[in-house]
């Protein structure tokens, strides 16, 4: 059960990170349009757009991932998976401003949903780890 929870947490975290990156890219596209810059300018800015602005979480409160990538067999059927595909990014220049704003709203919903699921999974994982630690102490006493 512990291993399954860790795998699901990795998958949820991966989708969350994809949603966050796409939020940043779509926001940059809206900014690009409002300033009259080119699509080439947006592409050139991608490393800056995708760089973390905030400092990393305090190591005492961070989690070291045990799985670095989700299982290739993952099948997301949540209704918003089209937002985390490369097709969404390829079509970015052809979307209207209204479509981009709608996409941002949907990506925000997806990111919040994944964050909530991730927090819930962390609570379950923490509970399992406490239980395992208690069992280990009892077995070795």
Model confidence at 141, in pLDDT bands (50, 70, 90)? low
CB 26 within 8 A of CB 107: yes
Contact (CB, 8 A) for 21 and 89:
no
Gap between the Cα atoms of 118 and 122, Å rounded: 6
What pLDDT score does 1 carry?
84
Q: Which two tokens stand for residue 28?
A: 């940059």
Average pLDDT over residues 76-87: 70
What pLDDT shows up at residue 36?
95
Residues 56-85 have a mean pLDDT of 62
The tens digit of pLDDT for each residue in 14-26 reads 889 989 999 999 9
pLDDT for 80 beyond 90: no
User: Which has the higher per-residue pLDDT, 71 or 95?
Assistant: 95
Query: pLDDT tens digits for 1-14?
Result: 888 888 888 888 88
- Sign of the four-CA dihedral 41, 44, 48, 51: positive
The fraction of the chain above a pLDDT of 70, given in percent, is 77
């Amino acid at each position: 059960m512990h291993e399954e929870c860790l795998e699901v947490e990795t998958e949820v975290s991966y989708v969350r990170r994809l949603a966050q990156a796409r939020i940043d890219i779509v926001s940059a596209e809206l900014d690009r349009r409002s300033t009259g810059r080119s699509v080439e300018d947006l592409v050139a800015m991608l490393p800056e757009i995708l760089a973390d602005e905030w400092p990393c979480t305090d190591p005492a409160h961070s989690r070291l991932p045990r799985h670095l990538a989700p299982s290739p067999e993952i099948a997301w059927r949540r209704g918003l998976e089209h937002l985390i595909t490369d097709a969404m990014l390829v079509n970015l220049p052809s979307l209207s401003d209204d479509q981009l704003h709608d996409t941002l709203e949907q990506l925000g919903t997806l990111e919040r949903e994944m964050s909530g699921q991730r927090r819930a999974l962390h609570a379950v994982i923490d509970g399992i780890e406490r239980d395992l630690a208690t069992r280990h102490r009892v077995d070795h006493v």
